[in-house]
Amino acid sequence: MTEPYPSAPHTPSRRTTLRAAGGGALLLGLGLTGCRSAVSEPAPPAGGADARPKRGGTLTVAVNTDFTPSLLFAQSAQSLQQRLIYNTLTRYDDRLEPQPELATSWEYAPDGRSITLELRSGVVFHDGRSFTADDVIFAVKNLQNPLRAAQLRATAAAVTGFERRGDHQLVLRLAHRVNNLFDLFEFMIITDRHGVEDAFTGKRLNGTGPFRLVEWRPGVGLSLKRHDTYWQPDRPYLDGVEIRVIPQADALVSSLRTGQSQLSFAVPGRNLPAIENAPDLTLSEYATGGGASYLGVNTSVAPLGDKTVRQALAWAVDRERILKQVLGGYGLASATPWPKSSPAYSEAGRTHYRHDPGKARELLRSAGHTRLDLPLLHVNLPGETALAEAVQYDLKQIGVHVTLQPTDPATAQKHLISQSMPALWAMGHSFAQVQPSTLAVSAYPFNEARNTSRFRSPAYTRAVREAWTGSASGAEANALRQRVTDTLLDEAFVIDLVIRGNVQVAAKKLHGATLNKFSYLNLDDAYLAG
């Protein structure tokens, strides 16, 4: 099987944008007056079309949140470095077709209850130990451990048997058919089975990836150096990577403008116009892994157990204003979690809830309320604070007065996992960019078995399970996905607001940086020109 290079992001001008996502490269409306035209090709490398990759140099990546070892095996805002240190079994291309990484080929059994993996030989960990089938077995079992807080635990748990056929062939046996196994393979990092506890506490991160960890300084960042015996010949080109924590948006933007940093995905949307025309920077947008912003509702807090009240909240929020003012126009106003690249997307679902404060007030009155006072937790970062303030303003217009509770990212994630959120919270979620069933069996806000909203429904569980474990295709599969979407819209325990554009800001001299579907940064082919 041919192993293509990862697809590059597309580079928009000030008035253009293109999204390349699972299912193909798709133009998405931005919810603004008029349309942005598409740029179909990335900018040519510095030095002209004949420029060749250059070896050497250290890339500095600016992030706004620190690495959190306890979240190593969960999808979170701290996941950017995963693919630098570790590999995964496969990776999706832009059509959501799996491509080889540490697994070179695979074959499903006719009944879908097992899969045979051929594993890459000649791969070594940073400490020199050879990669074998035992490392894959451990990786699956590790995600089955509830202490790892891995969102794809349910999919990992469907693997109930392992047949090792030598060092580089492995059969995984499944308790039942699942249609998102390759989501697991791209999500699951292959870590050192002998040092997982050290990794979980940040003491030592030993992987097979293109860079090895030299130092983690809490609050400052990660220092990485080239893995000289990496399995891809002559890769990586870079000597090293410095991941630097810069929490303040102005300081982060300044580091990019002055060249102190050459790459970031953490510039808040409303700060992007200030750098769109910077002469030494380019802006590129991915739908891949961009996720969505949402309003979470704790259904165990009165009166939020009443779906009429939750629906009132959904009608109250001005999604188009959030898109424009908070995200700078990079994204898609949407009442559902699905990007346009998803097979679960529909325009009717996207526009199901619009900004209608009159209807919202009417629904509240019908539920017996004219005023509510509720707390709203949000992550204490500029973009997330702006989102929470926008929601606060809209809810106030219908008589729902919220008190903001700013919280650091790691603590907010722990509240999300432990179901200890207050009445309301505003955060971001992912998992809608891969197989649709993954969202409802994996993402903490949506999990049918145990979600952060404490919402339970036999009908929702049945719809999710049938969509996840069935072998339906075509119209039948669409109908199953639609049942899940209809439940999400009607019950409104998660109120989606906007699909985020995942915006890469990079120095023009940087080429070849890409993201996978889970926003893991891939620098295998990255280089600094000039």
Three-class HEC string of 119-176: ECCCCECCCCCECCHHHHHHHHHHHHCHHHCCCCHHHHHCEEEEEECCCCEEEEEECC
N-terminal to C-terminal alpha carbon distance within the chain? 35
User: How far apart (Å, rounded) are the C-alpha atoms in residues 387 and 208?
Assistant: 38
Backbone angles phi, psi at 324, to 5 degrees: -75, -45
Instruction: Report which of 279, 346, 310, 357 is spatially closest to residue 454, judged by C-alpha positions.
Output: 310
Give me 129's structure tokens: 């130990």
Instruction: Report which of 89, 91, 83 is spatially closest to residue 170, judged by C-alpha positions.
Output: 89
Q: Are 469 and 486 in contact (CB under 8 A)?
A: no
pLDDT at residue 407, as a whole number: 97
Using alpha carbons, list the distances in angstroms from residue 461 to 103, 309, 457, 496: 32, 22, 6, 20
Backbone angles phi, psi at 285, to 5 degrees: -125, 130
pLDDT at residue 20, as a whole number: 29
User: How far apart (Å, rounded) are the C-alpha atoms in residues 319 and 334?
Assistant: 7
pLDDT at residue 49, as a whole number: 43
pLDDT at residue 33, as a whole number: 26
Kindly list the averaged pLDDT for each block of 10 residues, start to end, along the chain of length 530.
37 31 26 26 40 91 91 81 96 91 97 96 98 98 88 93 98 95 96 91 93 95 97 97 94 96 92 89 76 96 98 98 91 93 92 98 98 97 92 98 95 93 95 89 90 95 90 83 95 96 92 92 94
Q: Are 450 and 419 in contact (CB under 8 A)?
A: yes
User: How far apart (Å, rounded) are the C-alpha atoms in residues 348 and 526?
Assistant: 40
Q: Class of the 88-193 domain? A: alpha beta
The predicted model scores a pTM of 0.81
Using alpha carbons, list the distances in angstroms from residue 378 to 177, 294, 406, 427: 37, 11, 5, 6
- For domain 292-500, which CATH number applies: 3.40.50.720, 3.10.105.10, 3.30.450.20, 3.40.50.620? 3.10.105.10
What count of other Cβ atoms lies within 10 Å of the Cβ of residue 397? Answer: 15
The domain locations on the chain are: 88-193, 292-500
pLDDT digits (tens, 9 = 90+) for 459-497: 999 999 999 997 777 888 889 999 999 999 999 999 999
pLDDT at residue 276, as a whole number: 87
